[in-house]
């Protein structure tokens, strides 16, 4: 058999999830989805490298020969343990004093770190780049450089590429080669939060649903799944069939917090297996017949209208760049507008996007927001998740709004997600807005768009897309996505109101 060709990209995929590397090599290409996260990472990388280097880097072997301060696009080849063929494409090489085959300088690899800490994935990737670069430039590469920070203050950290790391790299390359030779893909990653960033997500979601994978149960993360597997509970169906009391006792060995959630996990699995929503009782499990229940949204009983509120953020820059508000008035006959609001025309509501631009300052944003809120003093402000309430109340505080007024604002803010979780168990694998509104039949107007894609449009717009046509187009897509989130929030709220009517 021909030796496996292993690349740095395959190694990175494998370190994230073994199945991902296998799919990268053998998976059906047409099922691979474009991910905005990768584009955002490349955008961050570019900004970090621009801060690091005084001038534009050169390209490939010719730039190395000329001694450019930075070099991109150099492909490196070599051999690993057992004759494995290796190939790598370092993001950037930085020139340092030294001796190499090109003259009295040598290079070291540079990686732009994503996230707050240096991980095994970063270390092993740099070890591979360093090893192949040392052979190529005929000079040792004792260390690599890691940068982070994008357009904030650039963080720099050197990483020694010692023998210990090289040993770990050899072990990983051997195991990667073995995994790639499997006839079937490795199992789904244990902690499926990682799947959010993966281009194979939709394929693996189908597998998880078909297998009744434990991660499909809302509330079961990587650690809890390990505990359940240890107890012999291997699937959604087995969790649904478990005795809650016995499970609570077994899980309590690992901490009292697990005892407390055991019954709720069984209840959630039961609801997902049954496919029907159930009202939550006082203990968090399905309500018993005759058990009294309170309204989920009592504030809407007499309200003349609602404001549906959604923020778009750049979490790395801690920037809430768009505050979108959809105004919805109660009909003249006292009924609420339909759940599935049209995008335009009668009954669509009035959508107002408020952009938060650095150059305009926060005071102006607050002035516009508070003026809008003051025009509808008795209208509750509905949002999904805590981002909006935290963002708005902090903004008010920064703008010097007094405690009494902030308390009034707090009382107007209604987190539909929190109310839903408090009152209902739903047959969904996540209580996020996409999953819940999707379960009610809501479709976002732009397919394949998520918060990351929206953020990418925003960054592109900030970087120069404000030129007439392109800029208008990107902003228009961001507003449409944000307005859809407001409409989706109404769909969930409306469903809660309907249950109370029923």
Interface residues with ligand SF4 (CB under 6 A)? 17, 19-20, 23, 188-189, 194-195, 198, 200-201, 204
CB of 13 to ligand SF4, least distance (A): 8
CB of 230 to ligand SF4, least distance (A): 21
**CB-nearer residue toward ligand SF4: 121 or 143:** 121
The Cβ of residue 144 has, within 10 Å, a number of other Cβ atoms equal to 26
- Residue that has been written with the tokens 């955002």 in this structure: 40
**CB-nearer residue toward ligand SF4: 19 or 459:** 19
**CB-nearer residue toward ligand SF4: 209 or 253:** 209
The burial of 280, by beta-carbon neighbours within 10 Å (0-12 exposed, 13-18 middle, 19 or more buried), is given as: buried
Question: Smallest Cα–Cα separation from 228: which of 195, 269, 276?
Answer: 269
Q: CA 116 from chain center: how many Å?
A: 15
The burial of 361, by beta-carbon neighbours within 10 Å (0-12 exposed, 13-18 middle, 19 or more buried), is given as: exposed
CB of 185 to ligand SF4, least distance (A): 8
Using DSSP, state whether 340 is helix, strand or coil. coil
**CB-nearer residue toward ligand SF4: 124 or 262:** 124
How many residues belong to the chain?
502
- Contact criterion met (CB below 8 Å) for 219 and 265: yes
For residue 381, give both structure tokens. 């402000």
* Helix (H) or strand (E) segment spanning residue 383: strand 381-383
**CB-nearer residue toward ligand SF4: 208 or 413:** 208
CB of 122 to ligand SF4, least distance (A): 18
Distance, in Å, from the CA atom of 13 to the CA atom of 436, rounded to the nearest integer, reads 30
CB of 124 to ligand SF4, least distance (A): 17
CB of 121 to ligand SF4, least distance (A): 13
- For the four alpha carbons of 409, 410, 414 and 415, in that order, the dihedral sign comes to positive
Using DSSP, state whether 189 is helix, strand or coil. coil
CB of 23 to ligand SF4, least distance (A): 5
DSSP class of 207: H
CB of 273 to ligand SF4, least distance (A): 22
**CB-nearer residue toward ligand SF4: 99 or 196:** 196
Number of helices (H) and strands (E) in the chain: give both, helices first: 18, 16
**CB-nearer residue toward ligand SF4: 173 or 189:** 189
Q: What are phi and psi of 270, to 5 degrees?
A: -60, -45
**CB-nearer residue toward ligand SF4: 67 or 451:** 451
């Amino acid at each position: 058999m021909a030796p496996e060709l292993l690349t740095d990209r395959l190694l990175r995929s494998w370190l994230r999830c073994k199945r991902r590397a296998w799919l990268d090599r053998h998976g059906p290409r047409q099922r691979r989805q474009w991910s905005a996260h990768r584009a955002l990472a490349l955008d961050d990388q570019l900004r970090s490298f621009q801060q690091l280097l005084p001038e534009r880097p050169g390209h490939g072997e010719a730039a190395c020969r000329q001694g450019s301060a930075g070099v991109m696009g150099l492909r490196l080849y070599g051999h690993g343990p057992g004759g494995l063929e290796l190939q790598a494409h370092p993001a950037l090489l930085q020139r340092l004093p030294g001796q190499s085959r090109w003259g009295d300088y040598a290079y070291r690899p540079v990686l732009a770190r994503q996230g707050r800490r240096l991980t095994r994935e970063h270390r092993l990737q740099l070890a591979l780049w360093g090893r192949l670069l040392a052979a190529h430039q005929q000079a040792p590469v004792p260390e690599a450089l890691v940068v982070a920070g994008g357009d904030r203050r650039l963080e720099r950290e050197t990483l020694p590429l010692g023998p210990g790391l090289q040993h770990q790299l050899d072990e990983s390359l051997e195991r990667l080669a073995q995994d790639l030779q499997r006839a079937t893909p490795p199992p789904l990653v244990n902690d499926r939060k990682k799947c959010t960033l993966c281009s194979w997500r939709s394929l693996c979601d189908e597998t998880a649903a078909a297998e009744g994978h434990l991660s499909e149960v809302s509330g079961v993360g990587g650690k809890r799944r390990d505990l359940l597997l240890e107890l012999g509970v291997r699937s959604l169906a087995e969790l649904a069939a478990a005795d809650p009391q016995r499970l609570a006792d077994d899980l309590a060995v690992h901490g009292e917090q697990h005892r407390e959630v055991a019954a709720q996990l069984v209840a959630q699995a039961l609801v997902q297996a049954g496919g029907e929503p159930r009202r939550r009782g006082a203990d968090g499990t399905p309500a018993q017949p005759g058990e009294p229940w309170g309204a989920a949204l009592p504030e809407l009983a007499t309200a003349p209208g609602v404001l549906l509120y959604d923020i778009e953020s750049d979490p790395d820059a801690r920037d809430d760049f768009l505050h979108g508000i959809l105004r919805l008035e109660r009909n003249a006959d006292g009924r609420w507008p339909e759940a599935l609001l049209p995008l335009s025309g009668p009954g669509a509501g009035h959508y107002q996007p408020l952009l938060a631009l650095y150059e305009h300052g926060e005071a102006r944003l607050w002035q516009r927001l508070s003026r809008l809120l003051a025009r509808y003093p008795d209208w509750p402000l509905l949002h999904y998740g805590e981002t909006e309430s935290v963002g708005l109340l902090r903004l008010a505080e920064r703008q010097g709004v007094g405690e009494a007024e902030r308390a009034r604002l707090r009382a107007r803010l209604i987190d539909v997600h929190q109310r839903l979780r408090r009152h209902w168990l739903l047959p969904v694998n996540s209580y996020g807005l996409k999953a819940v509104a999707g379960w009610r039949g809501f479709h976002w107007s732009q397919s394949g768009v998520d918060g990351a894609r929206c953020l990418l449009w925003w960054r592109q717009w900030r970087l120069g897309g404000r030129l007439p046509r392109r800029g208008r187009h990107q902003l228009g897509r961001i507003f449409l996505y944000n307005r859809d989130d407001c409409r989706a929030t109404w769909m969930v709220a409306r469903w809660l109101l309907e249950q109370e009517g029923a």
